[in-house]
Structure 1
Amino acid sequence: MSFGAYARRVRDHSLPYGRRINALAGCVERYRPIGYLATFGYLEHIAGPFRREEAALLRALDALLASRDRWLVELAAYAERRRDAKRLGQRVPRKIEPNANSPACWYGDARRAAIYTVGFLLLNQGRVVKADADVLQLASICLETGGHLSAAEHEQVRGLRRHFERLRGVSGWPDVDWPNWQKANQSLWLLHQVRCATAPDDACPGLSWK
């Protein structure tokens, strides 16, 4: 079922309330810019207790729709840029080119959502997330300061990103070293959220984090 079909079910007053909650879960399954669980948590953070209040449920859906609509605009612009590049002979996107195909921030509220996500990931360290200790320390500083890092800490973020990009590369296909690959991947995801949380504007830096 499509995102739009699930969204209509969320608004359908004739359905039992539990099915409307499940429909919201279907929407989140199809658009989860900060991860499934973090997206659900952030919706409750900004909209209120939607599991028991209809007004909060509708606010949560509206917030998710607004973010998704902004992403679709960016996605269309990215597709147009790729068509232009292909006409010029550039068949493969450059690594530094932001890639909107896989949303990796909350469009329209990237910085605040990233700060929430950093906190969510730290809270779930060891259960959902198993990132590097240095990455966790930087994430804790980011959370404590509300997204304000020193110049030295920004440089540490960049260095850790380079390190874990290399580790993920050598741990991947064809001889996959799953423990190191997962550690690198989860560390990079947390570092990406730190970068979004510390960005000077409401943009998504490094959308091509994968």
Structure 2
Amino acid sequence: MSFLEERAGAFLVRPDEKALVRALEMIEASRGAWHAELRAYGERRLRAKRAGRRRPAPGEENPHYLTRWHGDERRAALHAVMFDSRRKLAPLVVPGDPVAGQVQSCVDACLASAGVLGPEQREALAGCIHELEERLTPAQWAEHRGEYFRASGLLRLARQVEVASAALPRRC
């Protein structure tokens, strides 16, 4: 909601019909982009199944699980990084966890540069994402649920940084 208000104008605290209409238009555009992605994914899966590949490839993104704002991914991800860094990051970063410290460094760099990360920072971020994915195991869930949720929260934030720092499209 805060992203919608940032882009469309305040409509939650004080009713503003024009801002509400702009927010609705943003939601409809995002939903349209998401549905187009769902159709494309369905067509790819259908072709894959006909070719004998019954399961999606490891790492293949499934658009049925919403992880981003469709249509304005970078800007929404940058907003999410800013929002989550203020409210959720501090409890996730604990002493003695270098990956958490590195995620915090990437978050800080992302916010300081409006999403632009250098090659070294992008490489460090990719390493953090890999390490955090490795931590999310059934054994971790069963034995150390708090650590599982901490790793999951860091991974979500790291992935938002990844989207926010994606290369800007070139203008012709």
Distance verdict in 2 for CA 1:176–1:201, change over 3 Å:
farther
1:111 aligns to what? 74
Say whether 1:139 aligns with 2:100: no
Tell me the distance in 1 between the aligned counterparts of 2:84 and 2:59. 26
Aligned residues of 2:132 and 2:154 also touching (Cα < 8 A): yes
Q: How does 1:70-81 map to 2 (within 5 A)?
A: 70-81=33-44
Structure 1's 183 and 96: CA in aligned 2 closer, same or farther, altered over 3 A? same
What are the ranges of 5 or more consecutive residues in structure 2 without an aligned counterpart?
Answer: 94-99
Tell me how large the CA RMSD over aligned residues is. Answer: 1.7
Runs of 4+ in 1 over 3 A off after TM superposition: none
User: How far apart in 1 are the matches of 2:92 and 2:9?
Assistant: 29
Match status 1:130 vs 2:87: no
Pairwise CA distance, 1:139: 0.6
TM-score by length of 1: 0.71
SS for the counterpart of 2:136 is helix
Separation of aligned partners in 2, 1:145 and 1:189: 20
Contact 1:70-1:107 at 8 Å conserved across structures: yes
Q: How many residues align?
A: 160
Q: Shift of residue 41 of structure 1? A: 0.6
Aligned residue runs from structure 1 range 85-104, under 5 A: 85-104=48-67
Cα gap change, 1:99/1:45 in structure 2, threshold over 3 Å: closer, same or farther?
same
Contact 1:168 1:180 in 2 (8 A): no
* Identity %, equivalent residues: 34
Contact 1:111–1:196 (8 Å) recurs in 2: yes
Residue in structure 2 matched with residue 179 of structure 1 by the alignment: 146
